[in-house]
Chain A
Amino acid sequence: MNVRTRSIVAATAAGAMLLLGLSGCAGASSANSGEPLVGLIIKTQDNPFYVKMTDGAKTEAASLGFNLQVASGDGQSDVDSQIKAIENFTAQGAKAILITPAGDGIVPAIKKAQQAGIVVFAMDSPLGEGSGVDGTFATDNKLAGELVGEWAKAALGSTPARIATLDLSTDQIPVDVARNQGFLEGFGIDLADPTKMWDENDPRLIGHEVTDANEAGGRTGMEKLLQKDPTINLVYTINEPTAAGAYQAVVAAGLQGAITIVSVDGGCPGVTNVKQGIIAATSMQFPLEMSKQALQAVKAYLADGTKPQNSEGLDFTNTGVTLITDKPQQGVDSEDTTFGLDKCWG
């Protein structure tokens, strides 16, 4: 009885605190309710990319006079939580929704929101044709891969290439495929099917491993690849945390200096690693630009119904990608790490 009473008291106290906390939040967000409501739905909060995107959106929304509210999904591919967020923003009477889609599964929910008169822009991950979004602001991930591929080709020069790739997952998800295939194309390798990774037949390709795009996966993946073939001299990595892990494996094998690691992303720890020579070159993307340009597009649309124009040859507005390296190569445009540390996110 005693224990039970105590647990009831504890639970009640916790519940009361939770309610107080929630009502505090609600109070804060309803303060500027006179302005048009714009909902921002990100994929997850455990990636500084989206945190930076959110920060940028808040600043821009304040200067454009929007009431910005932010919701987050439960993971990189959790569509369900994003659908709920779309429904909630619709119910709240949002004028516009900006979303970083976790998958194609949210398209029906987007259509419903549009029928309710809401303009919907996608960010970061294009949903592809037929999705019916009113505009998309994203990094050209294929181009991001191509830039590091071209750079690596020039940097290796006449040395015969022994290439390995550290990819995200076995699921062939769009960003994974675009970066990997872009890199190989930039390096001058025949892609076979450009919508599929790992179907190439080039003898310069030694192997690939999947990494979950984090340090632990990068290290283990690189160890396996080196065990398979220690003559690898060029490694493409899906992102910079993966590259940082791969570098640890390279050091452990005593091969630093013999292996060039390239990556994609442009996070500040990644650019720091470029400066340190851990990563040779990385393609930087610009999450701040995505939310900024998307909010400006919302402003334009609400004023006179204009929708954003896609970049030439793409089904989205390219928010830019810049190669960051301290070893510039002839014929490949790049910026150094001073520029990189100034512009990096996270």
Chain B
Amino acid sequence: MARSATDAREDERASIPAPKSPRGLVEIDGGARLTPIQWIERRMLSRPLIGPIAVLVFALIVFSIVSPNFGTLQNFSLILQQVQVIAMLGIAQTLIILTAGIDLSVAAVMLLAQVVMGKLAVAMGLPPELALVLGILVGVACGAINGLIVTKLNIPPFIATLGTLSIFYALNIFLSGGESVPYADVPGLFTWLGTGFQVLGTTFTFGQVLTILMFLVFAYILRSTAWGTHIYAVGDNLEAARLSGIRVNRVLMSVYIVAGLIIGVTAWLLIGRIGSISPTAGASYNLASITAVVIGGTSLFGGRGRIMGTLLGAVIVGVFSSGLSLAGFDNLWQEFTIGILIIGAVAVDQRLRKIGR
């Protein structure tokens, strides 16, 4: 008690000069000495992808120098294959985070959707095309459930999706019995996205192409459609958006449903990637998708960010993972580095938010 009283007194004393310059910190930062940094910050504010691109280019150069096997086209294709599922989940995650929400259930929805695909096609003998569509619709339904909980029950997205994470994962385990469908039993259509073509002696998969296309499509939608503008508006300031006539709940609902659709398609991508239908492969991608979004420079507080940043974020994680592994670092240090990147990215975001005001 005595101690905190002293602290309080010290705080008072420290704040005595405050009346003179109540925004002291800002003024110090605004001093001529820091102008180059300020210049960079201004640039980053208008072009949010500068940060992630700089990190990526830096990592590519360093790892190419350190390990001879790193800087090959084959390895870049591999890295993209390794992160494509997280990147696709990241599209869904970005849409939701742009509305100042968050979705902790993306991977659980993906697993549930692909297990349903497997159940329908393999155990019940439905045509694979139909099973695929129904599986994707499971994703849409899960997204709609998340959206309803957020908009109708007025439960914050963090809590809503924390709950549905458990629910969807439990359903996934219930339906699959925790068991994988082995490669031999999986229909060819399901693994098609894992197949590909050769360019310059390097294998590229249809899954990679689909991932890139999805990013381009959603980059266009977010930039050039009314729906995209509304997403930013809702995330930036919900009340202001409501007052300016945007039907906020309708926008939120549509975002969760579209996210569910993307996740349903990602389930297909996952099967192509791993060759079997597994109820556990990728269970950790809930947080990995958020990591990609954050490293990509999208603000967790909503309203600011670029969908292409998420692709960069996912690729950055893949580049560090591959590069550190090829350089002989233990897997432990990959985790460690990702942690630093996350904190660095959020620190930059906080700084930019302050300036942006």
Contacts and interface: CB of A to CB of B under 8 A. Distances in A.
B105 to A, nearest CB: 16
Nearest to A171: B332
A224 B327 CA distance: 11
Interface in A189-230: 198, 209-210, 212, 214-220, 223-224, 227-228
A241 B276 contact: yes
Given A3-B152, A45-B178, A228 B183 contact: no
Interface residues of B, number: 42
Interface stretch (A152-160, A271-279, A311-319): A271-279
A278 B183 CA distance: 9
A248 B275 contact: yes
Nearest to A245: B274
Contact of A51 (B81, B169, B177, B185): B177
B322 A269 contact: no
Give the one of A3, A216, A218, A273 with max B CB within 10 A: A216
Nearest to B182: A269
Interface in B151-177: 152-154, 169, 173, 177
A10 interface: yes
Contacts of B78: 223, 227
Contacts, number: 122
A173 B273 CA distance: 28
Contact of B179 (A220, A227, A244, A268): A268
B179 A48 contact: yes
Given A48-B177, A228-B325, A268-B179, A215 B275 contact: yes
B317 to A, nearest CB: 12
Contacts of B177: 48, 51, 346
Contacts of B210: none
Given A219-B273, A273-B182, A346-B177, A214 B280 contact: yes
Nearest to A251: B275
Interface in B181-227: 181-185, 194, 203
A170 interface: yes
B188 to A, nearest CB: 14
A105 B280 CA distance: 25
Nearest to A74: B166
Contacts of B276: 215, 241, 244-245, 269
A214 B275 contact: no
B282 interface: yes
B184 A46 contact: no
Interface of A: 3-4, 6-7, 10-11, 45-48, 50-51, 170, 198, 209-210, 212, 214-220, 223-224, 227-228, 241, 244-245, 247-248, 251-252, 267-270, 272-273, 276, 278, 346
Interface of B: 69, 74-75, 78, 81-82, 85, 152-154, 169, 173, 177-185, 194, 203, 270, 273-276, 278-284, 321-322, 325-326, 330-332
16 contacts: A4-B154, A7-B154, A46-B169, A51-B178, A198-B330, A209-B331, A214-B281, A215-B276, A223-B78, A223-B82, A227-B69, A228-B69, A244-B180, A247-B183, A247-B275, A248-B183
List of 8 A-B pairs having minimum Cβ-Cβ separation, nearest first = A215-B274, A216-B281, A269-B182, A215-B281, A248-B275, A214-B281, A48-B179, A46-B178
